[in-house]
Amino acid sequence: MWKMMLLLFGLLVACSNGSDAVPAATSTAQPSSSSTAAGGVSFSKGLGTVTTPRLLDCPGGRVSAIGEVTSEDGVKWVVPAKIATGMTSAGDLSNPCTRIENRSLTDVNLDNVPVVEIDPDGVVITGYIYADNYFELYVGGKPVAKDPVPYTPFNASIVRFKAKYPMTYAIHGVDWEENLGQGTEDNKGSKFAPGDAGIVAVFSDGTATDASWKAQTFYIAPLTSKDSLRLEEKDGKEQRLSPQTSSPPACGTDCYAAHFAVPDGWYAASFDDSRWPNAVTYSEQTVGVDNKKEYTNYRSAFGKGSFIWTSNLVLDNEVLLRRTVEKAPK
């Protein structure tokens, strides 16, 4: 009897949570929600509705749109990701849209890059970032800059900030998409090619992206079936594992996508990322940058780091990356 009453109470709580599970308008990434099903995952199926047709007008680039899908449990999700508003754009190392191109790092005039003050008594650090396709950088829980080009053409960025140790780096990474809610784009002879990702960031204090960073995925697509996603607990880490495939899925524009709520304050220094898996490193060849001058022109910096992402470079489309550095690396 008591068991039955507890069960009913649990169901009532679960249902009442469902009604307030709308995206928070001011949060940085995806909606916060306590109503998602087992493992915190929600599934949507099919194309999203366009809400912002074009974030950036740049000849030769893919259309960087934002859309919305509703998952089977009634939660609305922004795809490919809810991005920060009001964050300033990073400086350009190379950007075909602004036609700024430093031929090498020695051409860069650091005086042209504003220093974002995180801590008045901090040290000034310069960072170089290349993302496939989009990043937002936070340091010490405060916004530094976002990638000025959300999708393509590919670009490379420079940031400067003043911050003190211990220093928490937090990056919101997005692999953009043409078929909103599907994680696919017109590429390599298919309208539904799953796009791939990767990011490298190198900072003047010696910090760089590598396997010591934490990485978790929050949007996985395309999935041909819901049970192709495996949620596993391994060594105390929350693993969200999807098939390692880059083939266009047979589901076309009717594939499944998995969504997880982005935790509030995920970029704060105090946020507990102990259950996130470590980042996985990928080679230049795997990320496909060894023939892109927006990367190779600055290899003297980028080569000090590694491309990282979660365990699936193709299907994981929205990832959060974190690393806390206790003191200046030697």
Task: State yes or no: residue 173 binds Ca ion (CB under 5 A).
Answer: no
Segment 97 to 116, residues that bind Ca ion, using CB under 5 A:
none
Task: State yes or no: residue 222 binds Ca ion (CB under 5 A).
Answer: no
Q: Which is nearer to Ca ion, 67 or 183 (CB)?
A: 183
The span of 7-15, 127-135, 204-212, 240-248 binding Ca ion (CB under 5 A) equals 127-135
Task: State yes or no: residue 175 binds Ca ion (CB under 5 A).
Answer: yes
The span of 34-42, 142-150, 267-275, 279-287 binding Ca ion (CB under 5 A) equals 142-150
Q: Which is nearer to Ca ion, 167 or 223 (CB)?
A: 223
Secondary structure of the chain in the HEC alphabet?
Answer: CHHHHHHHHHHHHHHHHHHCCCCCCCCCCCCCCCCCCHHHEEEEECCCEEEECCCCCCCCCCCCCEEEEECCCCCEEEECCCCCCCCCECEEEEECCCCEECCCHHHCCHHHCCEEECCCCCEEEEEEEEEECEEEEEECCEEEEECCCCCCCCCEEEEEEEECCCEEEEEEEECCCCECCCCEEEECCEEEEECCCEEEEEECCCCECCCCCEEEEEEEEEECCHHHCEEEEECCEEEEECCCCCCCCCCCCCCEEEEECCCCCCCCCCCCCCCCCECEEECHHHHCCCCCHHHHCCHHHHCCCCEEECCCCCCEEEEEEEEEECCCCC
In angstroms, what is the minimal distance from the CB of 208 to Ca ion? 19
Task: State yes or no: residue 310 binds Ca ion (CB under 5 A).
Answer: no
Segment 179 to 208, residues that bind Ca ion, using CB under 5 A:
183, 195
Task: State yes or no: residue 317 binds Ca ion (CB under 5 A).
Answer: yes
Q: Which is nearer to Ca ion, 90 or 163 (CB)?
A: 90
Q: Which is nearer to Ca ion, 68 or 294 (CB)?
A: 294
User: Which residue in the set 71, 126, 133, 312 belongs to the binding site for Ca ion (CB under 5 A)?
Assistant: 133
User: Which residue in the set 149, 159, 170, 301 belongs to the binding site for Ca ion (CB under 5 A)?
Assistant: 149
Q: Which is nearer to Ca ion, 131 or 167 (CB)?
A: 131
Task: State yes or no: residue 147 binds Ca ion (CB under 5 A).
Answer: yes
Residue whose token pair is 């949007």: 219
190-194 and 184-187 beta bridge pairing: antiparallel
Q: Which is nearer to Ca ion, 80 or 263 (CB)?
A: 80
In angstroms, what is the minimal distance from the CB of 241 to Ca ion? 15
Q: How many residues bind Ca ion (CB under 5 A)?
A: 9
Q: Where along the sequence are the contacts to Ca ion (CB under 5 A)? A: 132-133, 147, 149, 155, 175, 183, 195, 317
